[in-house]
Every structure is written in structure tokens, then in C-alpha cells.
Chains A and B, each alone.
Chain A
Amino acid sequence: MADETPKPSELLSKIDYHTPSTHWMDVPVNIRKGMYCYASNPKSVEYLGLPNARAWNPIEEDWKLPENWQQILHEGFKERLEKFRSIKVFMDICVRCGACADKCHFFIGTGDPKNMPVLRAELLRSVYRNDFTLMGKLLGRFAGARPMSLAVLKEWWYYLFQCTECRRCSLYCPYGIDTAEITMFGRELLNLLGLNIDWIATPVANCYRTGNHLGIQPHAFKDMLEFFVDDIEEITGVRVEPNFNKKGADILFITPSGDVFADPGTYTCMGYLMLFHFLKEKYGLDVTWSTYASEGGNFGSFTSHETMKRLNAKMYLEAKRLGVKWILGGECGHMWLVINQYMDTMNGPADFLEVPVNPITGTRFDNAASTKMVHLSEFTADLIKHGKLDLKPERNDNKILTFHDSCNPSRGMGMFDEPRYVIKNVANHFYDMPANTIREHTFCCGSGSGLNAGENMEERMAGGLPRANAVKYVHEKYGVNMLACVCAIDRAALPASMAYWVPGMQVTGVTELVANALVLPGEQERTTDLRGEPLPGMEEADE
């Protein structure tokens, strides 16, 4: 697929911010190759017991919908208007001021006006007005209403899968209208008709069965971590011993399975192993991994609220079974939206766990008092603040860093200073990107919310453009050569978008940097970092 993707210069010259002369309702949707993901595999849909499992193809005329699909949608819409005040209010109060229009990375990268958050929402609102409001019924298009049709449905599908639920537009909206909420709702409706994409549906089915999106079975999961154990031994001379499914451990650690599977997330995973080994040796802290709850991410959240809950349930179930005190969560984006804003409500109360206390520093994480789950960056920052880690930040001296705030920990949580604090303590060269592109203003990697497939490379590169552009700025200005992040999707998506837009830029997880700097008890003199690249000053030793 990659060879069909336009070159960066072609993609840039294709961006046209001029609006068409025809009204948007009269511009038919064009489901274009490179801009959409393949349809869900019926086996995955069936495994989960979700509706209308069948093989279908988005670019074919016939989507093999149930006969009464319009009724299903109408009733699904109606039911959710009662269940979600957010949707009801967001359908009614938009004034179309346009503040959100140029905030979306997909709009910036494509110029397609239907990627303006306001129009993405209007795709649904127009049908809402037609079906549920007096004005819409009386005045039709003059009130911005239009009836549901197959063409409208296809338009919904195309554009609801060109939103990564990053919430950037919501920040600027004077009424807090959140397109992520609208997209989640819209995708939930589409799922009533079996209109998911496979890059979401199959990971969800895998996760349901094997505990993780990649479908790694328990023995293989253990094997994969043991590969890392070997690698770590080679680099440090220390053999770390991770616990699996260990009853009575202090803490259960859950992270996205992407970190176990693909570079450069694997280096972050090695970082986790080394950090926990250090804490075990030095302070006796007992952390366990679980093969059953072996996924932090939750692609269910890109499917429906119910599916989100079904997948998320494992975290508490496993914590209870193992009898741990509290849960520590690894570096992941949407995982943390789910944990921070949904988990406790959906699957709590977690009264069988304790309010998280870091036994090494005595810090009580009151901000997680009810959910009982702490972010690894919070945990690491606390350890560093209390001087509990032995660090040699100079080992990261050949890395000139910047930090990408992932959308969900930013606008669905507000974790900005903890990872920066960690980075600045384990590395010496750090430069932030321009102010309007970081922290709460941050841009999405372009591939979030289940869009990180191979067949939609043009869509991903277009969506990744604003982030890449800001990286390029610090790359040229300060010579930044490494982009740090706390999200597994970022680690999977950004290397491609960096190779495309900012060649030479590498991507790393924060815990990889920590582990590079961390001095393990009894380690040999290290000559390379976790990637096998020579440490600063060790370039000759490598020969």
C-alpha cells in the first residue's frame, strides 16, 4: 500500500482550503483508496456477538445492511438521546461560529471541509433535526435538516473514521462541544449495523479472547517478555525476573500489548522490566504482569460503550483475583482516557483494592483514591522526586529530545508535567515544541482511535502532518533527533509519520529513557543503550 501513497510534496500540494461552491449536503461522499480502513472481518464481529456480521466492502455499492437499517438507526439515536445528555445538548446548541474549523489535524492535512469538526457533527445533526426537531420537520433544509439515506450513511462512516477522537476541537469550543463524544456515539450507531473497520473489530475480538489486542496467548506472552529479559541481560549483565499472574503481589502492572510486540515500543517494555527489577532488588516491591489482563488499550472504546466496558472489566477482575493492593498502568493514550474517565463508573467500585500508596516514598495518590490505578509517569516522577532511582542521565546525552503530549492523557486527564519531569531527570537535552502545539493544544499523531492500519496510509500521513510540522520545527531549530511520548499508538504510528515528514527523527517511550539512565544493582559497564546503539563516549568500544 505504501508505494501508492503520494509523496510528501504531492500530499502537501493537494491540500486545498478553498471551500467548494456547492453546498456540503450536495457534495456526494467519495470513499477514496488510502483514506479508509478495510471493513470488519465477520468472524471477529461474530465472536463478540455484535450485530450484522457479514463480509462487506466499503467501496461496493451494496453494504449488505439489514432491511430495516433506517429504523435501527433512528431508534438507536433516540435511545441514546435519553442516555447521553452530552449528545442531546451537543445536537442542539452549536452556533456554527467556526472556532473549531481549523483545529482538526485531518482538516489541516486534507483541507476537506467535512473534516472541520463542526461539519463532521453537522453530518449527524442534520439527520437529528430531520427526525427529532419541529423546525427540521417544518423547514427541511432551511433549518439544516436532511433525511437519512444510504449516501448519508456512507458519508457518516467515511468521516467518523476520519476522526481520531483527540478532543482538540473541544478545547476551543465556547460550549465544550466534544467531537470525540459525537464520534464515539456515531460509531456506536454504525456498529448497530455492523459497520466497523477491521483494524478495530479484530483487535477487540482478540482482546476479548486472549486478553490483548494482538491475540498473544499466555505462553507466548511470557515467551516474548523473556526475549526482552535476554536482551536486557546482554546489555546490562543483569537478569531480570518478571512475575506473571502472581497472587499476592503488591501491584498489578497493565500496559498495551503493542509494547510487547513492535519496535520501538519493545524498548519501552524492556524499560518497564528493568524499572520493576530495580524496585524489587532495592526496595522489595513486588510487581506482577498478567497474561489475562495483558492489554491496557481498549479498542472497545472505538466500538461502543458496552464493548469498552466488556474489555475493561478484566483489569479489576484480575486485580481482585490476584489480590494486589492497586494497579499501575503503563504508557498508553486512549487506555488512560478509559481509566481516568470511564473505568470506575463502568466496572467499579474497586472496594477490594487499597488507595494507592507508593510504599517506597510513602506518597499517597489521592487523585486515584477511588479508581485505584496510577499512571507509570506519576509513579516514576514520584520516585525521582524522592531520589529513589539511581540515574545516569548522561547516558541519554546523544538524544536531543522533545515530548509529544498524546491526546488522551492531555485533554482527557491533564498529565503534562509528570512525563516532562521524568524526561528532564533522565536526559539532559530537552526542547518543547511551540506552545500552540503542545500540552492541551497538542496535535494527534494522526492514527489514533483505531486508524493505525496500513491501507489508509494517506489518511494517516495527512492527519499526522500538523504534529510532524511542529516536530520539524524543533528538529531544525535545536537539532532534536528523538520524539518521546507516553502512548503505544504513538510509538506505532509516529515512526511512520516521522519517516514520511521528518526523516531522521526517532520515537521513544519515556520509560525507555528512564531505563537507559537507570543504574541496576550489579550491572556491568554498559556500552549501548536498549536499542543496541553505542552510548555517548562508547562509540569506539562498539567496534
Chain B
Amino acid sequence: MNKFYLSSLLAVFVLALIAWVGGPSAPWLFGIVLPYLAVILFVYGVARRVMGWSRSAVPFAIPTTGGQQRSMPWIKQNKIDNPSTHLGVFIRMALEILTFRSLFRNTRMKMTHEGRFSYNLEIFLWLGAIAFHYAFLTTLVRHMRFFLEPVPLCIQAIEAVDSFFRFEISYDAIQFGLPGVYISGIVLLAAVVYLFLRRLFIAKVRYISLAQDYFPLFLIMGIAFTGILMRYFTKVDIAAIKELTMSLVTFKALSFKVPQGIGPLFYVHLAFVSTLLIYFPFSKLMHMGGVFLSPTRNLAANTREVRHVNPWNYPVKVHTYEAYENEFRDKMVEAGLPVDKMPEESAEEEKE
């Protein structure tokens, strides 16, 4: 299994090296062509994949029912886990997407030596996942400051909350301070490292992991790490970077002029992000879109109340009552079972 994560790690290192060397020497390629290409492929790829899913039929309504059904009014229905209305489905989906509700149910099975089993709440996967996704989202939103001028108030507000934690030493002897520390960046890196370590150290998870499970983790680790490096340690020319990012959104970058003074580390960061975007539509990262289309979650569990229509429903061969009675008529009559045709009638029909 080791070759899976080693190959992924190697791929990310090679990528970093290429960007480190290539960025400063061909800034138009790494600063302009690559990000444009990445965005185009991302949008195209995601749209194609989602449209591919949507094109496939939903022949049956197969919601997983995770709570009491709606039956009689005096029995309390679980309207979220077994939703019979569109509102219920909406809430179920919202909770699934925003709070990872199903994952929150996770338990861990343990067997004692006497052969007894216990199933206790296992919260860490959920915690890691939720920390990772929300930190990623915050980081993403925060980065909008590079693509908008003036920076909207809401983004400034998010930044302010995110960086409430300050690290400063201001004695006469030592004057040291970091810019406001973004919690999101730290949490993102910590969560992604946790998700990697659990893949590595939990035997079952290691056994099911593929190279494509490690690769995006390393990539995101790289993104978070280079981002943190740039912000707190090796200062980059932030003005030049913003000039570049603004020229990308305003399409002035099509002149292929990249501002001077952007360090190689930024190109590594950008190359990681671009790779992630290009890789996204071809990978399991599409779970972001797929979760909306999962028929076990996004359909109402009112399948006996409202008929679900299968677009490709076709007639099938069935064994009719007539054929059944024809085979067993004599025995049925003898046993006193009612029949549609008495033996004499059917014999006459046969003659005709």
C-alpha cells in the first residue's frame, strides 16, 4: 500500500519543483496560462460530470429511511430522517450537506475477547471532516480579497473574525509580531494532516485507500503549507500578487504580462491550486456535486402515497391468472376453490 501514498507524495513534490523552477522563468505560463486553463477545465469538467449524472434516469424512489415513517397521526413521524414532504427532504439534504448528519451517526464496533460486541459513537471522523471542509470554505472565501477591489465588507468581516487571534511580542528588547493568524489556515492544515494520518494508521482505512485518496490530501496539505509559509514566514510581495490576480479576473492578464517580484513560492502555491482544480472533475472530489444527486437522500419517502414514475418502465411477461387457472382448474374445482371458467366451458372453448 505504501507505494500508493509514496507515489502521490512524489507527484506533489515533483509538481512543487517544476513550479518553483518554472514559475520565475516562465511567469506567463505558470501565472496566467495555467490558472486560466485550470479554471476552464474545472468548470467544463464539473459541468460535464454533473450533466452526465443528471442524464441518467431515476427509475425508483429508494430513500434510505432513517427514522419512523409517516403512518397514523398519533405515531410521531421522524420528519427529517424519513421525510414525506419536500420541505422535509430539503431539511434532510441541508443537514446532510451542511452538517454531515449521516457521518455524525458513525459508531465504532469493538469485540471483546469473550465475543461481545459494542458499538460506540465515533466522532473523530466527523470532527475531522467538518473541520476540514469548513476551514477550506473559509480559506476560499477569504481569498476572494485577491479577486475583488475594493474588498467587500463581508469578506473583511470574515477575515477579522478568522484572525481574531494575534501573536505579538513587544518588549523593548524584542519586537516580534505575526500578522493576524488565520485560524482557518491552521485548522485546514491540521485537519488534512489528521485525515492523512488516519488513512495511514487505521489498518482498515489504509487497506481500502487508493493513490487517488492520498494525492488530493497531499495537494491540499501543500496548498495550506505554502500559504502559511507565504503569510507568516517568507514574506512575498503581496501587492504584486494582487496585481496579478486582479489582472486575471479582469482579463488584462491576456496581455501575458506578469508583475515583477513574485517569489517562486507563490508559483508553487498557484500550481497546487491549479492542479487541484484540473484534477477535481476526474476524481472522487466530485462527491461535492454527487451528494446533491444521491437518490437515497434527495427523494421523499412518501413512496406509497405518491407514485414515482420510471421513465423507462416497460411491459414484462407475467403469468396471468388465466394461465394459472388453466393449469390448475381441475384441482381447484375439486378442492372447492372458485374458478372463473368451469372445466366444461374451457373444454368447449378449446374445441372452438
Contacts and interface: CB of A to CB of B under 8 A. Distances in A.
Interface stretch (B13-21, B106-114, B166-174, B262-270): B106-114
A320 to B, nearest CB: 10
B91 to A, nearest CB: 15
Contact of B307 (A210, A370, A410, A470): A370
B25 interface: no
A93 B312 contact: no
Interface string B188-213: 00000000000000111111111111
A95 B58 contact: no
B58 A174 contact: no
Nearest to B81: A440
Among A95, A244, A342, A373, chain B packs the most CB atoms within 10 A around the CB of A95
Contacts of A134: 282
Interface string B315-352: 01111110011011001101111101000000000000
Given A411-B66, A414-B78, A436-B107, A371 B102 contact: no
A412 B65 contact: yes
B318 A219 contact: no
Interface stretch (A55-63, A231-239, A345-353): A345-353
B162 interface: no
A172 B208 contact: no
Contacts of B62: 86, 178, 181, 341, 412
B95 to A, nearest CB: 11
Given A98-B205, A135-B212, A174-B102, A82 B282 contact: no
Contacts of B324: 209-211, 292
A366 B61 CA distance: 18
Given A98-B205, A172-B103, A86 B296 contact: yes
A82 B56 contact: yes
A244 B328 CA distance: 15
Contact of B321 (A20, A24, A292, A410): A292
Nearest to A378: B71
Among A20, A82, A98, A119, chain B packs the most CB atoms within 10 A around the CB of A98
A92 B280 CA distance: 12
Contacts of A246: 338
Contacts of B203: 18-19
Contact of A170 (B64, B82, B106, B290): B64
A314 B7 contact: no
A19 B129 CA distance: 24
B251 interface: no
A116 B120 CA distance: 18
A346 B313 contact: yes
Nearest to A96: B208
Contacts of B261: none
A495 interface: no
B65 A410 contact: yes
B296 A93 contact: no
A279 interface: no
Interface stretch (A415-423, A456-464, A514-522, A524-532): A415-423
Interface string A157-200: 00000000001001111111110010000000000000000000
Nearest to B328: A218
Contacts of A344: 303-304, 307-308
A246 B336 CA distance: 12
B293 A418 contact: no
A108 B117 contact: yes
A340 interface: yes
A113 B207 contact: yes
Interface stretch (A64-72, A147-155, A270-278, A305-313): A305-313
Contacts of B55: 82
A135 B306 contact: no
A174 B295 contact: no
Contacts of B290: 89, 92-93, 175
A349 B202 CA distance: 50
A412 to B, nearest CB: 6
A211 B332 CA distance: 14
A417 B70 CA distance: 10
A102 B335 CA distance: 53
A367 interface: yes
B36 interface: no
Given A82-B55, A440-B65, A218 B318 contact: no
B177 interface: no
Given A99-B125, A102-B204, A135 B53 contact: no
Given A135-B212, A245-B337, A368-B305, A413 B96 contact: no
A339 to B, nearest CB: 7
B253 interface: no
Interface in B105-146: 105-109, 111, 115-117, 119-120, 125, 129
B179 interface: no
Contact of B53 (A9, A85, A113): A85
A291 interface: yes
A247 interface: yes
A310 B72 CA distance: 31
Contacts of B116: 469, 473
B286 A93 contact: yes
Interface in A432-476: 434, 436-437, 439-441, 465-466, 469-470, 473
A45 to B, nearest CB: 15
Given A116-B204, A318-B321, A417-B68, A219 B335 contact: yes
Contacts of A208: 319
A305 B57 CA distance: 14
A453 to B, nearest CB: 25
Contact of A101 (B58, B59, B78, B208): B208
B59 to A, nearest CB: 6
B313 A172 contact: no
B125 to A, nearest CB: 6
Contacts of B150: none
A415 B69 CA distance: 6
B221 interface: no
Among B109, B207, B212, chain A packs the most CB atoms within 10 A around the CB of B207
B282 A85 contact: no
B231 interface: no
A321 B318 CA distance: 15
A291 B332 CA distance: 10
A253 to B, nearest CB: 16
A83 B204 contact: no
Contacts of B100: 174
Nearest to A80: B56
B204 A369 contact: no
B294 A94 contact: no
B53 A89 contact: yes
Interface string A249-267: 0000000000000000000
B75 interface: yes
B67 A440 contact: yes
A370 B103 CA distance: 33
Contacts of A416: 67-69
A344 B70 CA distance: 18
A286 B95 CA distance: 46
A217 B69 contact: no
Contact of B206 (A19, A339, A440): A19
25 contacts: A17-B111, A23-B1, A81-B56, A86-B296, A89-B53, A96-B205, A96-B210, A98-B205, A98-B208, A119-B207, A142-B4, A171-B66, A175-B294, A181-B296, A219-B331, A222-B335, A222-B337, A244-B338, A245-B338, A305-B59, A318-B321, A345-B308, A367-B84, A411-B65, A469-B117
Given A345-B303, A367-B305, 4 more contacts: A15-B111, A85-B53, A116-B208, A174-B287
Which 6 residue pairs across A and B have the least CB separation, nearest first? A414-B69, A93-B290, A219-B335, A414-B65, A176-B296, A85-B56
Interface of B: 1, 4, 7, 49, 52-72, 74-76, 78, 81-82, 84, 96, 100, 102-103, 105-109, 111, 115-117, 119-120, 125, 129, 202-213, 282-284, 286-287, 290-291, 293-297, 301-310, 312-313, 316-321, 324-325, 327-328, 331-332, 334-338, 340
